[in-house]
Amino acid sequence: DPILQFFRQTSALALYPVFILLLGLGEASKVFVIFWATLFPILLATIGGVKEVDRKLIEMAATFGASRTTIFRRVVLPASVPSIFVGLRLSATTALLLLIAAEMIGANKGLGFQVMNAQYNFQIPQMFAAILLLALLGLSANAALVTLQRRLCRWADLSH
């Protein structure tokens, strides 16, 4: 869909000043910029996952008398979950990066602010400690999503 692709290509960081003007310098602008940036990977991965569901599985469920709701719950959703998790994992990384950038640009607290503040004050150990903590936070978020994906998709090949 060209309209969806247009909005997906609009940089969330480029829109951050607009969100600040509309929503203020508080948490709302940060939440909205993260929402904007993470919406499209999840949405497009979900759409792709639903489109990739084997039509024969849907036809077979319909032949056995399954309702549209049952087909969605028992066939389409389970087959789409691996693709949805791809979008979730990409969005988790994007969310963390944007949160850090937003805190660096317009905040007076948070890890992004701590990195910038330590850099301005030549507090190199504190700067690297905050960077290390951010890396560990990203690894933890990814590990949690991988664990959840493995639990929900035991039948899927998750070797990648």
CATH number of the domain at 67, please: 1.10.3720.10
Look up tokens 């690894």; give the residue.
139
Q: Name the amino acid, one letter, at 84.
A: I
Q: Residue 83: what pLDDT?
A: 93
Residue 160 inside a domain? The answer is no
Residue 159 inside a domain? The answer is no
In angstroms, how far is the first alpha carbon of the chain from the final one? 28
Q: Is the pLDDT of residue 158 over 80?
A: no
Q: Residue 159: what pLDDT?
A: 62
Look up tokens 């940089």; give the residue.
11
Q: Which of 46, 50, 137 is nearest to 85 (CA)?
A: 46
Residue 110 inside a domain? The answer is yes
Provide the CB-side half-sphere exposure for 11 (13 A, CA): 5
Band the pLDDT of 154: cuts 50, 70, 90.
confident
Q: Residue 140: what pLDDT?
A: 95
Q: Is the pLDDT of residue 150 over 70?
A: yes
Q: Residue 134: what pLDDT?
A: 93
Residue 157 inside a domain? The answer is no
Residue 98 inside a domain? The answer is yes
Question: What's the number of domains the chain is made of?
Answer: 1
**Quick one: DSSP state of residue 74?**
I
Residue 122 inside a domain? The answer is yes
Band the pLDDT of 90: cuts 50, 70, 90.
very high
pLDDT digits (tens, 9 = 90+) for 2-57: 888 888 888 888 888 899 899 988 888 889 999 999 999 999 999 999 999 999 99
pLDDT digits (tens, 9 = 90+) for 68-79: 999 999 999 999
Supply the range of the domain harboring residue 61.
2-152
Question: Exposed, middle or buried: residue 30 (CB in 10 Å: 0-12, 13-18, 19+)?
Answer: buried
pTM over 0.85: no
Q: Is the pLDDT of residue 1 over 80?
A: no
Alpha-carbon distance of 156 to 93, in angstroms, equals 23
Residue 126 inside a domain? The answer is yes
Q: Residue 152: what pLDDT?
A: 87
pLDDT digits (tens, 9 = 90+) for 98-146: 989 888 887 788 889 999 999 999 999 999 999 999 999 999 999 999 9
- Among the residues of 24-76, which ranges form H helices? 27-51, 55-63, 68-71
